[in-house]
Amino acid sequence: MITIENLRKSYGKLQVLKDVNVRFETGRVVSIIGPNGSGKTTMSKCILGMVLPDGGDIKINGESILSQHAYRSQIGYMPQIGRYPENMKIRQVIQMIRDIRRDAKEVDEELIGLYGLKDMYEKRMGALSGGTKQKVSAALAFMFNPQILILDEPTAGLDPISAEILKCKILKEKKKGKLILITSHIMSEVEEVADEVLCLMDGQLKFHETIASIKAQANEERLSRAIAKIMNEED
């Protein structure tokens, strides 16, 4: 569904992505892991067109997305740190995005209900806690029933119950045949929801395999140990 070819990006002298080649298939949950600053967020922002790559190509369903915009109607994005206009209320933000995406056929309000956002509709975005902002981001990402979901550390600021709700939602959407990309540092969470793990290191693809094959390769029961083992071996 998404094909990334020779993707390169540098910020000044710092090379963040060095010739990354990946393919993501539909109906999978792919977890993108890697140390801080390894290019995870940059890669997902490249798919979204928020960061413009220096070289290479990104294709969704065979079509290049560089300098396009219409394809974003198929993508739901939940940023690592949601930044919203401070003086808008939750209701206004949600209404605005709905207004812009009026052509979307289905509107999925499940997360708004589960997170009880309606009770907080009149609160200003600037007055919200980090966790509540994350809930708004999550609700917006899932709202228009997109074919691709890009979740950047989705559970980082959420309380355990909300994180659980989100995980259930991710699995539910996966069953509908969507592609879900998650960047995360929490291995237990990766193990719970993901099918495949993609590891970036210093802007290069370290490995991209299914969880079962990683475990088999390292001969370990726990994913975190297996990954640690693989990384150490390759050094």
Partner 1 sequence: MKKILKYVFYDIIRNKIVVAYTLFLLMLSIGLFNFGGNPDKAILSLLNLVLLTVPLISIVFATTHFYNSYEFMELLVAQPINRKKIFLSEYLGVACSLSGAFILGVGVPVVLFGASLTGLYLLVTGVFITFIFVAMAFLASVITRDKAKGIGIALLLWFYFALIYDGIVLFILYSFSDYPLENTTLALTALNPIDLGRIIVLLNLDVSALMGYTGALYKSILGSLWGIGLAFGLLLVWVLVPYLSSRRIFSKRDL
Residue 119 one-letter amino acid: D
User: Is 77 a binder of partner 1 (CB under 8 A)?
Assistant: yes
User: Is 14 a binder of partner 1 (CB under 8 A)?
Assistant: no
Q: In the sheet where 148-152 sits, what is the strand order?
A: 75-78, 148-152, 179-183, 29-33, 196-201, 204-210
Least distance to partner 1 from the beta carbon of 77, Å? 5
Q: Which of 29, 60, 93, 200 binds partner 1 (CB under 8 A)?
A: 93
Stretch that binds partner 1, among 55-63, 97-105, 175-183, 211-219 (CB under 8 A): 97-105
Size of the site for partner 1 (CB under 8 A): 27
Q: Which of 71, 143, 147, 179 binds partner 1 (CB under 8 A)?
A: 71
Q: How far is CA 116 from CA 19, 20, 120, in A?
A: 43, 40, 7
Burial class of residue 232 (count of CB atoms within 10 Å of its CB; 0-12, 13-18, 19+): exposed
- Phi, psi dihedral angles at 165 (to 5 degrees): -55, -45
Structure tokens at 110: 């499940």
Q: Do residues 211 and 194 make contact, with C-beta atoms less than 8 angstroms apart?
A: yes
User: Is 85 a binder of partner 1 (CB under 8 A)?
Assistant: yes
d(CA 231, CA 121): 46
User: Is 40 a binder of partner 1 (CB under 8 A)?
Assistant: no
Contact positions with partner 1 (CB under 8 A) in 212-231:
none
Q: Which of 49, 108, 156, 209 binds partner 1 (CB under 8 A)?
A: 49
User: Is 69 a binder of partner 1 (CB under 8 A)?
Assistant: yes
User: Is 72 a binder of partner 1 (CB under 8 A)?
Assistant: yes
Interface ranges with partner 1 (CB under 8 A) = 11, 45, 48-52, 69-73, 75, 77, 79, 83-88, 93, 96-97, 99-101
